[in-house]
Structure formats: C-alpha cells, structure tokens
Amino acid sequence: MVIFGASGHGKVVADIIKLENKFSIDCFLDDAEKGDSFYGFPLYLREGYFQEIKNLFIAIGDNKIRKKIHGEFNVNFPSIKHPSAILSNSVTIGEGTCFMANSTVNADTKIGKQCIVNTNASIDHDCVIGDYVHVSPNASLAGNVSVGELSHIGIGASIIQGINIGKNVMIGAGSVIINNIPDHSIVIGVPGKIIKKNE
C-alpha cells in the first residue's frame, strides 16, 4: 500500500493499515517537499516516484483535495477499518473510505467513496453518506440522515433523525442540526443556523 499525504492524518491511516494487517506499507507520497522519510517509512515526491502503484490510500483530510487526487490515479483504492470500529454487515462502502477507532455505522447505511468516518463518530441506521464526506470525531448522525458529496460534519456535531444535508456543506463543531440544510451552506450553533455560503 502507498499512502498519499504525509501529515498527521497520514499517521493515523498508517496505524490503521498496520493494525488491519491486510497490506504492508511501501511508502508515503506527497506533492510538497518534506524530506526523505515520514513516520518510519520512505517519503517520495509524487513527481519523482516511478514505481507501479497497485494499492493507494489517500490520507488527505480536505474533501476537495481528496477528490482531486482520487481523479488523478487509476489504481485500486482499498477501504480501511480500525479493529475497534463497528460496522453492520448490511453497510455498503465505497472505495478508499476510512473508519477510524471506535467509529460505529449501523444497519443499511450507505457510505460513499473516499469518505472519512473519524474517531468515535456514530452513524445510525439507514443513513446515506455521499462521496468525499468527512464525519469528524465524536459527531453523531441519527437514523435516516443523508449527507451530500463533499460535506464536512464538524467535531462533536449532532444531527437529528431524517435530516437532509446538502452537497458541499460545512457543519461547525458542536452544532446541533434540526432542520434540512441546502447545498453550499456553512452552519454553526445550537440549533444550527446558516451563516453564509460555502464557496
């Protein structure tokens, strides 16, 4: 496995890959010059790396950058899961998605490609999570919630049942969402209120 993204997020991803023990880590790649090693593994600039890549994990927290990089490679993108994460057998998962420590995803939920379900995040039954979504640590989604592509659910945010979150939405840390949120909105507060457009 090659990990794209030499950052703190990349360290967490590397730990999960080592714990899963399904892949060995070959190296990290990055687009910025950061030396020749990272977290105990070789580090290469993408433009200077000419080995064949079979399996790649994109360890980039920013949804839009993760989507861009995903479109630039034609390789296998395995999903990874921390051993303490709990997923129902009826959950469907897109490629390249990560489930971090103590995350929980319940029955008949659909998770898109290249998503991050972060530490202690909870996603209940029958939710639909679009591609390139990040559900931050300790965020909680009740049942039948939908989240559109490229949206970010902030740390500790709570979303009540049956809510629709649009595309490219930013939910602020600790916010409580009790109403549907349209595309391209930035929302903060208890209860959550739209404060501006997410350009």
The predicted-structure confidence for 162-177, as pLDDT tens digits, reads as follows 999 999 999 999 999 9
- Residue positions forming the annotated binding site: 7-9, 61, 134, 155
* Domain end residue (candidates: 70, 99, 129): 70
Q: What is the pLDDT of residue 48?
A: 86
What pLDDT does residue 182 have? 98
Query: In the listed set 70, 89, 107, which residue is the last one of a domain according to the structure?
Result: 70
CATH number of the domain to which 29 belongs: 3.40.50.20
pLDDT at 153: 98
Catalytic residue among 70, 125, 152, 184: 125
Is 46 a domain residue? yes
Residue at 197 is within a domain: no
Tell me what pLDDT residue 199 has.
84
pLDDT-flagged residues of the chain (< 70): none
Burial class (CB in 10 A: 0-12, 13-18, 19+), 109: buried
pLDDT at res. 191 = 98
- Residue 6 inside a domain? The answer is yes
Instruction: Write out the residue range of the structural domain in which residue 134 sits.
Output: 80-189
In a domain? residue 116: yes
Domain count across the chain:
2
Same domain, 176 and 115: yes
For residue 70, indicate whether it is catalytic: no
CATH of the domain at 140: 2.160.10.10
Feature table: binding site for substrate: 7-9, 61
- 117 touches 136 (CB < 8 A): no
Q: Are residues 62 and 91 in the same domain?
A: no
Annotated binding-site positions for acetyl-CoA: 134, 155
